[in-house]
């Protein structure tokens, strides 16, 4: 069942969609459930167990901060990122938290949030267990949630995907579950991929005007994110003490136009710059559009900025179409494989974002649905097997530069697909299935646990 464009692109905070935004959403859902059952005011203690990958890299990904915010009732798209550290300091120094800003209890983050890396839930490596206890220590409620990538969250009793199918979704006029069906529908109805996606979105109950408004807000948020990344100096949080490089690279490019005057690939510097600016904002916990994850959030904005500043042929309609096409492709990965680094490695984050951006750019530049699917396929094919091995569990190295690489590769993938004269050999469905099975075979140390790859071969803090 296709996922909505508004679910694949969501406004939130850095540094991680699965390890920050998802846990924040889960914690809020738990607190709301306590309220719904009428037991919120009987709660005296909350304990949170962060299992598997959340236990292994949760500190570097700010999972502990995120669950505290969620318990307070904060929402990822509404909280002001500049106020977060103050909120967390108050909780820590007062050893108290206000559940949904309604009921205050004692809470000591270092004691009440447990990182349990070696307990891996069989359903998904990003599991969280929330406990609420009364004044004599009895359980009032215990619930397990999974953060399954791209800030999507499900509860233990929602594991069966068919149980999640809503009435609206089953009424979609152009339902597809793989790329082959998507292309057949486009051919039959003489649709572009964005046409088909738009028709499905409207059938979900949103007007075209409302959808436009929401997607332009997404684009506006991406632009603000790039702008902040270009001007914010200093060190990124965490023990690596990594210096932000986007501002100095920006100055270098602006002040030295001759540097790239006779270089036909000069645009690459700018694509790198836009992607790094987003990656650094994400690493700093700033306002981010999940696209389709936070770790890979720089790729789609960098390619859109390429259209806006380098091709200089954008308008609102073309931006909206770009996002719709990207989402149609992202949905295929979400439904048939995974967009979680903890589940399938970085191929599910950087690889998927590259594939989405390549497809969207191919349609933007006049490609047919077949060429769009081919661009998506190329964008993923050369990321197959890409591991997730963030140094010190921070979404910084290799993540930030990897966005720059993904942005440039997306543009190249679209170009190759558009220039192709013969039918492609590998289908998009085949590469998605290969990504899924490669991820399933991948050793756990390469799946967002910071126990393999660069995370162990580079001296960190
Ligand atoms: S290595 Fe890739 S998947 Fe892992 S945290 Fe970084 S961007 Fe996300």
Q: Is residue 428 over pLDDT 50?
A: yes
All structural domains of the chain with their residue ranges: 17-156, 167-457
Q: What is the pLDDT of residue 167?
A: 47
Asked if residue 162 has pLDDT above 60, the reply is no
Give the pLDDT score at 459. Answer: 67
The model's pLDDT over 34-69, given as tens digits with 9 standing for 90+, comes to 999 999 999 999 999 999 999 999 999 999 999 999
Residue nearest to atom 3 of ligand 1 (CA): 346
Question: Cα(298) to centroid of ligand 1, in Å?
Answer: 12
Does the pLDDT value for residue 165 go beyond 60? no
> Sorting pLDDT into bands at 50, 70 and 90, what band is 213?
very high
- What confidence category does residue 260 fall into, taking pLDDT thresholds of 50, 70 and 90? confident
Closest by CA position to 23, among listed 66, 62, 56 = 66
pTM value is 0.95
CA of 61, closest atom in ligand 1: 5
429 in contact with ligand 1, CB cutoff 6 A:
no
- Peptide bond between residue 455 and the one before it cis (omega within 30 degrees of 0): no
* CB 64 near ligand 1, within 6 Å: no
User: Does the beta carbon of 13 sit less than 6 angstroms from any atom of ligand 1?
Assistant: no
Say which residue the tokens 């999640």 belong to.
164
pLDDT of residue 259: 78
What confidence tier does 161 reach under pLDDT thresholds 50, 70, 90? low
Index of the ligand 1 atom closest to the CA of residue 403: 7
Q: What percent of the chain has pLDDT over 70?
A: 97
Nearest to 5 by CA among 321, 318, 324: 324
From ligand 1's centre to the CA of 41, what distance in Å? Answer: 39
Q: Is 292 in the pocket of ligand 1 (CB under 6 A)?
A: no
Decide if pLDDT at 166 tops 90: no
At 193 the pLDDT is 98
Strands (E), 210-323: 287-290
Q: Is the CB of 395 under 6 A from ligand 1?
A: yes
What are the residues facing 443 on neighbouring strands? none
Note the pLDDT of residue 442.
98
Look at ligand 1, atom 2, and give the residue with the nearest C-alpha: 346
Q: Is 346's C-beta closer than 6 angstroms to any atom of ligand 1?
A: yes
Q: How far apart are CA 62 and CA 236, in angstroms?
A: 13
Q: How far is the CA of 297 from the centre of ligand 1 (A)?
A: 10
Measured CA to CA, the distance from residue 318 to residue 198 in angstroms comes to 13
Report the atom number in ligand 1 closest to the C-alpha of 387: 1
Of the candidates 221, 214, 219, which has an alpha carbon nearest to the alpha carbon of residue 6?
A: 214
What are 73-121's pLDDT values in tens digits? 999 999 999 999 999 999 999 999 999 999 999 999 999 999 999 999 9
Ligand 1 pocket mutation pick from 54, 275, 296, 338 by most atoms within 8 angstroms of CB = 296
CATH of span 17-156: 3.30.1330.90
């Amino acid at each position: 069942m296709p996922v909505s464009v508004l679910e694949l692109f969501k406004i939130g905070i850095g540094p991680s969609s699965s390890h920050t935004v998802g846990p924040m959403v889960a914690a809020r859902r738990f607190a709301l459930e306590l309220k719904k059952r009428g037991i919120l005011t009987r709660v005296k203690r909350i304990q949170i167990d962060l299992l598997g990958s959340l236990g292994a890299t949760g500190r570097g990904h700010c999972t502990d901060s995120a669950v505290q915010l969620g318990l307070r009732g904060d929402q990822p798209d509404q909280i002001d990122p500049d106020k977060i550290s103050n909120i967390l300091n108050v909780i820590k120094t007062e050893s108290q938290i206000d559940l949904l800003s309604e009921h205050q209890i004692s809470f000591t983050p270092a004691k009440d949030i447990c990182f349990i890396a070696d307990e891996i839930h069989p359903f998904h490596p990003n599991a969280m267990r929330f406990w609420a206890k009364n004044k004599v220590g009895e359980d009032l409620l215990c619930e397990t949630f999974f953060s399954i990538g791209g800030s999507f969250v499900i509860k233990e009793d929602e594991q069966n995907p068919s149980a999640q199918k809503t009435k609206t979704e089953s009424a979609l006029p152009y339902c597809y579950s793989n790329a082959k069906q998507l292309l057949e529908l486009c051919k039959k109805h003489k649709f572009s991929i964005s046409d088909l996606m738009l028709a499905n979105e409207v059938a979900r109950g949103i007007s075209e005007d409302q959808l436009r408004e929401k997607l332009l807000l997404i684009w506006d948020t991406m632009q603000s994110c790039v702008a902040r990344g270009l001007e914010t100096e200093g060190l990124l949080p965490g023990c690596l003490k990594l210096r932000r490089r986007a501002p100095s690279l920006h100055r270098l490019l602006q002040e030295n136009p001759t540097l790239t005057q006779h270089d036909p690939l000069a645009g690459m510097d700018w694509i790198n710059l836009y992607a790094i600016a987003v990656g650094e904002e994400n690493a700093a916990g700033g306002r981010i559009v999940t696209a389709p994850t936070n770790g890979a959030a720089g790729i789609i904005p960098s390619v859109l900025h390429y259209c806006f500043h380098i091709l200089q042929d954008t308008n609102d309609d073309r931006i909206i179409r770009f996002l719709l096409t990207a989402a149609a492709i992202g949905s295929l990965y979400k439904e048939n494989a995974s967009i979680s680094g903890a589940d399938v490695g970085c191929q599910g984050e950087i690889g998927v974002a590259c594939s989405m951006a390549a497809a969207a750019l191919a349609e933007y530049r006049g490609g047919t649905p077949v060429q769009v699917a081919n661009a998506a396929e190329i964008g993923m094919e050369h990321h197959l097997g890409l591991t997730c091995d963030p140094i010190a569990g921070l979404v910084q190295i290799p993540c930030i530069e990897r966005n720059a690489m993904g942005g440039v590769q997306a543009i190249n993938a679209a170009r190759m697909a558009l220039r192709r004269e013969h039918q492609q050999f590998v289908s998009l469905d085949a590469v998605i299935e290969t990504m899924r099975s490669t991820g399933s075979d991948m050793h756990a140390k390469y799946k967002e646990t910071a126990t393999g790859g660069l995370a162990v071969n580079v001296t960190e803090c």
